[in-house]
Amino acid sequence: MKNQNVPSWSQKFTGLAGVIGASALIAFPAWAHINSNTTIANATQTQQVAGNVKPAAAPASMAATKDIVAIASGDTQFKTLTKALGAAGLVTTLQGKGPFTVFAPTDAAFAALPKGTLDDLLKPANKAKLTKILTYHVVPGSVLSTSLKSGNVTSVEKSPLKVVVSGGKVTVGGANVVKADIKASNGVIHVIDKVLMPPDAM
């Protein structure tokens, strides 16, 4: 990824006041063109989360030594996600510098998709569609749950994601954040209970 050229940031990450601020963001024409050297202002490192959203159980010092892919591949609830990242060719990208915020669906979330959907998406012929869906789960920057506010944010896929913070709960694109702030060396993971679909993915 280091030798690839990328366009300059052209969109601002809205809906997360005080997190990324005026940092410019790249509007990626394709996930594979992410520049791992791009820098973005990091979010606050506060570990507190509101309501019943559970923070990560692992100490931050442990999580911060591993990248997003290493954490996902070492967690049994992300077996399907790890497989999908490999099929889409996104493993190397998510091992890059970032930072990235990943809303990670669990195996149960993938299992809840209509019958045959996952098998179809994992076929080589549907790599582009799978990539589109997976990048819809990622936003640039390292955004902790304490900084999430209601509003739309722009995903790496370029479509907006609706964030709702209400009644002590956080939802993203209609999915519940069931565990927040799993820190990685190149970003942060928030666990969600639903696979998100871009408006024109299916």
| pLDDT tens-place string over residues 29-75 | 333 333 333 222 333 332 233 344 444 444 444 446 899 999 999 99
Beta-bridge mates of residue 183: 188
Residue that the structure tokens 């994992």 belong to: 122
**CA atoms of 146 and 25, how far apart (whole Å):** 21
79-88 and 127-135 helices, crossing angle to 10°:
120
For 88-142, the pLDDT digits (tens) are 999 999 999 889 999 999 999 999 999 999 999 999 999 999 999 999 999 999 9
